[in-house]
Amino acid sequence: MLERGKGNFCICGHNSTIYAEIFNDLDQIQIGDEMYLVDNDANRTKYLYIVTEYKTVEPNQVEVLNDYGDNRLTVISCTDDGKQRQVVVGILKE
């Protein structure tokens, strides 16, 4: 069983300049920004991730989902034109 808050946890969502999508402002994120995940467990455990990387990749560059031996959050969304993917990586602050 996967331990919560461990490994490479990935969340994907839509980006659209026409519609109000969840990751419309993903390209505004800065290195050092904080991202939070809140678990739906009884304690509402909160995980804090510090953004360490923002990049644009091709859709077939799935290595962003690999296990890198650390505890990270990887957020992925398409670019405005939908041709590439925005990738934001945050490392879990322990």
Q: Which residues are catalytic?
A: 14, 78
Tokens of 69: 């031996």
Number of neighbouring beta carbons within 10 Å of residue 46: 10
Please list, in sequence order, all residues whose beta carbon lies within 8 angstroms of the beta carbon of residue 50, skipping any fewer than 6 positions away: 32, 33, 34, 35, 90, 91, 93
